[in-house]
Structure 1
Amino acid sequence: MTAWRGLALALSWLTVLPVRAGTGSAPAAGVAAAAIRWAPVVGALVGAVSGALAWGLVAAGVPTLVAGLLGVAAGVLATRGMHVDGLADTADGLGCYGPPERALAVMRDGGAGPFAVVTLLVALGAQAAALAAVAPLGPAVATAAGALAAATGRAGFAWCARRGVPAARPGGLGASVAGSQPWWVAAAWWVLLAAAAALLVPARWPGVLGVAAAAVLVVGLSAHTRRRFGGMTGDVLGAASELGVTAVLVVLSAAL
């Protein structure tokens, strides 16, 4: 029962779908932990839609880069922009001077500083250009690439929320899931996704390399943000997701 409630919560948290999780304002710790484990499945659904949309637009005669941008935009809208917001806030927090308290205050501010703007331009621009390169390869490839990238990005949640990493501040999504995951959950997801990529993505190795690159980036991000912020936050989860998505799409676009 907890697992299915976790899936409902993951859909409610991570998409705009009107799913009723039935957990109230403060979900039980077990349900919140289960939602993190379901996140890659939810991500795969969002990514598949983005990839299919990009292919459909290219097939309809839309310029490839425009199709890539619109495919990425669809994914942002489907997630209420929460992951890109987390990436922006994390970039500003890492870019400021001062102790962890200062960085966390910058992240709470809500505005977009220069680090956030540049990071979003590079990450979303790279995603759009990469999706534009993959979309003309056909509906199966575009859909699989989008699903793989988004699922891999959300698999990073489990690593950032692994046991031994505290919440950097009380309250919010980060505090509700910090330390909730055994370390092997993220590793298992990365291995599973790499295996799926070897079967579903043409030429096999590009997908595997994309998943591996994403895993390396997320491990590095988690280590750095733990030192810099004193733990993890919900914004770090968003940053991990977008880094993973970008890594997979860029590697696929370069190798396919």
Structure 2
Amino acid sequence: MRARWDQFRLAVMLLTRLPVGRLRDPLPAMGSAAWAFPLAGLLAAAPPAAVIWLTLPHLPPLMAALLALMAGLLVTGGLHEDGLADLADGLGGGATRARKLEIMRDSRIGSYGGLALVLGIGLRATGLAAAPDATTAALAVLALGAASRGGLPLILTFQPPARDDGLGASARSAGRLGALAALGFGVVALVLVGHAALATGAAIALAGAALTALCQRQLGGYSGDTLGATQQICEIAGWVALAACWNA
């Protein structure tokens, strides 16, 4: 139980800025914490869920949604958004695999990355603003916080790293059982969106599979940036599906 608790805390450390104390030796391997990614995502989604639940009845929906996203950015430090921007710059600006990876390591954000951030935040905010009420919106934030991270350990398990170094390569030991556990947690979390669960899950799965295939073809595998970008793309796809269901 202590080992599992330490793995969960490591997952929270990797994906958020939430304080969970210091880990004692021996430290768990990064990949061993992958099963807890959706649980860490659920924890990270709690503050933005609280913000949307408190503000939606009193503010314009889009303003409340942007405040909720701001709370989420404070919790995660924009980790996943940074991956989305880096991947967009790399795929958009590089002609070769090596050049794409080089651009992705550059801390500067280019035009492709800036556009990806604007469009990503815009789609997430408008999707959240489409929720019919505050409770539905808060539950959706929690569900997508977990579900958008549930498939990431599958990438760690079945796709090779694009580089031999970096955070992505060091987290390779996810294991099939850990990956299946994470996927299960992510699927179960979709129960929170009720009748829209099937459509939302399908959209997340298709978006994640498409981006994973693109990264395999363009980069030769995954990296920390592609994992972050995958979380963002999956969450965006989930919001699009939810908005469609709410407006049907």
User: Would you say the 8 A contact 2:31–2:174 is kept in 1?
Assistant: yes
Q: CA RMSD in A?
A: 2.2
- 1:133 pairs, out of 130, 134, 150, with 130
- 2:152 pairs, out of 152, 157, 167, with 157
State the alpha-carbon separation in 1 of the partners of residues 24 and 233 from structure 2: 30
- 1:216 pairs, out of 206, 226, 244, with 206
User: Would you say the 8 A contact 1:190–1:211 is kept in 2?
Assistant: no
Q: Which runs of 5+ in 2 are unaligned?
A: none
Aligned length, in residue pairs:
245
**Aligned to 1:20, what secondary structure does the other structure show?**
coil
CA-CA distance at 1:52 after TM superposition: 2.6
1:170 aligns with 2:164: yes
User: Would you say the 8 A contact 2:52–2:64 is kept in 1?
Assistant: yes
* Residue of structure 2 in register with 1:42 after alignment: 40
User: Would you say the 8 A contact 2:38–2:150 is kept in 1?
Assistant: yes
**Aligned to 1:201, what secondary structure does the other structure show?**
helix
* Residue of structure 2 in register with 1:52 after alignment: 50
State the alpha-carbon separation in 2 of the partners of residues 93 and 75 from structure 1: 25
Q: Which runs of 5+ in 1 are unaligned?
A: none
State the alpha-carbon separation in 2 of the partners of residues 28 and 51 from structure 1: 30
The normalised TM-score by structure 2 is 0.90
User: Would you say the 8 A contact 1:144–1:201 is kept in 2?
Assistant: yes
**Aligned to 1:180, what secondary structure does the other structure show?**
coil
Amino acid at match of 1:70: L
* Residue of structure 2 in register with 1:115 after alignment: 112
Structure-to-structure mapping, 1:159-238, within 5 angstroms: 159-163=154-158, 165-178=159-172, 180-182=174-176, 186=179, 189-190=182-183, 193-198=186-191, 200-202=192-194, 204=195, 206-238=196-228
User: Would you say the 8 A contact 1:52–1:142 is kept in 2?
Assistant: no
CA deviations 1:46-82 (Å, max 9, x no partner) are: 22331231121122x2211011111111111100111
CA deviations 1:192-226 (Å, max 9, x no partner) are: 5445534x324x1x222111111111111112112
Q: Return 186-195 or 108-117, whichever deviates more.
A: 186-195
**Does the C-alpha gap of structure 1 residues 15 and 191 become closer, same or farther in structure 2, counting only changes over 3 Å?**
closer
**Aligned to 2:130, what secondary structure does the other structure show?**
helix
Aligned identity (percent) is: 35
User: Would you say the 8 A contact 1:190–1:215 is kept in 2?
Assistant: no
User: Would you say the 8 A contact 1:127–1:249 is kept in 2?
Assistant: yes
The normalised TM-score by structure 1 is 0.87
CA-CA distance at 1:97 after TM superposition: 3.1
Amino acid at match of 1:172: G
State the alpha-carbon separation in 2 of the partners of residues 233 and 176 from structure 1: 10
